[in-house]
Structure 1
Amino acid sequence: MALILPPLKALRPYVASVWASARGEATATGREHVLPCGQMHLAVRLDHAPLRLFADADDRAGDVIGDAVVAGARAGYYIKDMSVPARSVGVQLRPGAAAALFGVSAAALQGHHVPLDALWGADARRLRERLHETPDPRAQLDVLQTLLLARLRVRALHPAVAQALVRMEMGTNHDDLGIRGLVDGAASSHRHFIARFRDATGLSPKRYTRVLRFRRLLQAFAADPTRPWIDLALAAGYSDQSHCIREFREFAGVAPQAYRRATGAAPLHLPMPGRR
C-alpha cells in the first residue's frame, strides 16, 4: 500500500513527490533490484527495520545503513533487503535539492546511501521522534514537509543546467553538439558546465540522459506490458534492440525478458530471489 502526493508549493522546485508506504508481507530471502530513475530520495523507516543493502547477489550478510537515509542519484541498480515488513515515509527529490535541503553537492552523494544524521544532525533525531508520535500517514507527511521547509535554503539552478534539464525531460536529443550549444549560450566552459550539472543532479549530462531514456522505457512498458520490446525501445530513443538490451542489463541487472517475467507493481522495483 502506498500513498503518493504532490509536495507543498514552496517545496515543488526541489521535491517531486512525497510518499508513505506500508509493506506487510515479507519472504525469508526476499530482495529487490531498485532501478535508477535519475533522482535522489529521502526515506525514513518507522518500524525499527533499518535499510539493509547487498553488494551483489552472493552477498548474504548485507550492510545495514540506518532507518533515515538519503540516497544519491545512481546510474545502476542497487539490491535491497525485502525480508521484513516495513513502514516508511519519504520524498522523491529534484535536481538542486542536495544543496537546498542538505547543504551539499549532489555529486558528493552520487551512488551512496547516507544516514540522515550525517547531514542534518539533531534535526534527524527530531524528525524521527515527531514521526513516531504521529500515527496517521498523511499527518506524517505533513511533519516531514514541515521540517523540510525549515531546512530549505533556496538555491537557484544555473540557467544552462536548468535549460538542459528541461530539454532532457522533454526527450530532446542531447548529444555533444547540443551541450556545446548550451555552454556557449551560458558563456561557460564545457568543464564548468559538466561540474555544475553534476552538482545539481549527481550525474554527468550523458549519464543523466541515458537514465531518463531508461525511465521512459519502463514507463512505456508499465503502460502496455504486452507491447514488443523493440517497439518500446525505438519509441524511447534506443538505436536498436541490442542497444536497449545492453543498457537494460547495466541499469536493471537483468535482460528485458527477465524483467517482464519478474516485474511487480512498481516499474522501478524488481523482485529478486535472495541467496540462502
Structure 2
Amino acid sequence: MDAYIHIPQNELIEAIDYLWYHEAPAIKLHCYTIPFLHQELIINFGDHFAVTSPQQQLHYDQQGMASAVLPGPITTQAQGKYKALGIMLKPFGLYRLCGLSAATLQERPLSLPDIWGASAHTLLQELDTALTPADKLLIMEKFLLKMARPQLIPEEVMALQTPFTLQKGHIKSNISDKLISSKKYIHTCNTILGMAPKKYTHLGLVNTAVAQIAAHPNRPLTDIAYDNGFYDQAHFIRVFKTFAGITPSAFRKAVKQQQVHDKMPNTIFLS
C-alpha cells in the first residue's frame, strides 16, 4: 500500500517533512510502532482507524487528530475502507507552524477544529470532496500556508536535533553561552518538543539504533550500543526498552523475520 507523498517547496518545510495520502478499498492492518522523532496529524475519511498506547485508545475520524512526539510505543489497527491524509511534522513542527505547545499535545491529542477553529470545518469539507490525492494534498498545503503563524525555534532547542550524544556535559553546553538557566531550558524543551532535553536525546539515540539494526541485522548489538555512546549493553537495553517497549534483540528478530516496514523501520507489522 503505497502513499502519495508531497514535500513542501516553500516555508512550510521548516515545520513539515512531508504530507501523505493513502487510499485502499479494503485493508486489515495491525502494527506496532516504536516512537519516532516526529509529530503527526492524521485525518481519517475511511472506516475503523484506532491507535492504542499504554495510556489510552484513540479513534481517528474526519475531525483529524494531531499528536506530539510519543514517549512510548503505540499499536495501530485499521480495517475496512482506508482513506487517510497525514502530515509528518518535525519534532517541533506545530510550535514552529502555529505556536502550539507540545506540552498541550502530551496531555491529549487535538483535533483540527481544536487547533484552527471554524476554518478547519471548511477545510475538511473541501478535502472530503476533492477528487484526486494530489488535489487533497494541495488543498491541505494551501490551508497550512494560510493559517501559519510561524514561531522561532530557539538555538538551544535546535542544538538538540543532531548529533545525539550521551557525552557528559553535552546538554549543558547548549546553554553555556545563553543567559538561561537549566530549569528554563527544560521548560522550553517541554513546551516545544514535549519532553525534557535528556529524554529527547535518549529517544533520538533509540531511533538511530533502530535504523542501524534494521539496516544491519547481523551486526552485534554491543557494537551498536557502543557506537551510540551507551555505557554498556545493559544501559542500551534499558533505554531502548523504555521507549520501544521491547528489547533490541526482539526488534532485531522482527527485522530478520521481515516484519519491519522497509522505509519506516520503527513500524513492525503484527498481521
TM range (shorter): 0.7 to 0.9
Q: Quick one: which of 38, 51, 54 aligns to 2:52?
A: 54
Q: What whole-Å deviation, never above 9, does each CA across 1:157-210 have from its counterpart, x for those lacking one?
A: 123222x23xx42234454x2333332311111111111122211111001101
Question: Do the aligned partners of residues 183 and 144 (structure 1) sit closer, same or farther apart at CA in structure 2, a change above 3 Å counting?
Answer: same
Question: Which residue of 1 is the match for residue 265 of structure 2?
Answer: 267
Show the 5 A alignment for 1:88-103.
88-103=84-99
Q: Equivalent residue for 2:122?
A: 126
Is it true that 1:169 corresponds to 2:167 in the alignment? no
Q: In 2 relative to 1, CA 232–118 (structure 1 residues): closer, same or farther, beyond 3 Å?
A: same
Distance 1:56 1:187, change over 3 A: closer
Q: How far did 1:24 drift?
A: 5.8
Superposed CA offset, 1:136-161 (max 9, x none): 22332211111111111121112322
| Number of corresponding residues | 263
* From 131, 152, 171, the counterpart of 1:179: 171
| Residue deviations 1:83-114 (CA, integer Å, cap 9, x gap) | 44522221221244323434421111126422
Gap change, CA 1:92 and 1:75, over 3 Å in 2: same
How far apart, in 2, do the equivalents of 1:190 and 1:2 lie?
A: 42
User: CA deviation digits over 1:71-91, x for unaligned, max 9?
Assistant: 111221122223445222212
Q: How does 1:1-276 map to 2 (within 5 A)?
A: 1-22=2-23, 26-27=27-28, 31-47=30-46, 49=47, 51-56=49-54, 62-67=57-62, 68-110=64-106, 112-162=108-158, 164-165=159-160, 168-173=161-166, 175=168, 177-262=169-254, 263-265=259-261, 266-272=264-270
SS of aligned partner of 1:12: helix
Task: Say whether the 8 Å CA contact 1:74–1:203 is kept in structure 2.
Answer: no
Identity of aligned residues (%): 24
Residue 65 of structure 1, CA deviation: 4.3
Q: Is the 8 A contact 2:98 2:151 kept in 1?
A: no
CA contact (8 A) 1:248 1:255 kept: yes
Shift of the 268–142 alpha-carbon distance from structure 1 to 2, 3 Å rule, reads same
**Which structure has more RCO (C-alpha within 8 Å, separation ≥ 6)?**
1
CA RMSD of the aligned region, Å?
2.6
Higher mean Cα deviation, 151-160 or 86-95? 86-95
Q: What's the TM-score, normalizing by structure 2?
A: 0.85
Matched position secondary structure for 2:41: strand
State how far apart, in whole Å, the 2-side matches of 1:252 and 1:132 are: 35
- Matched position secondary structure for 2:164: coil
* Counterpart code for 2:214: A
Listed as ranges, the gaps of 5+ residues in structure 2 are none
Deviations 1:33-55 (A, max 9, x none): 222113211111232x3542335
Which amino acid in the other structure matches residue 66 of structure 1? D
* Contact 1:96/1:156 (<8 A) preserved: no
Query: TM-score, normalised on structure 1?
Result: 0.83
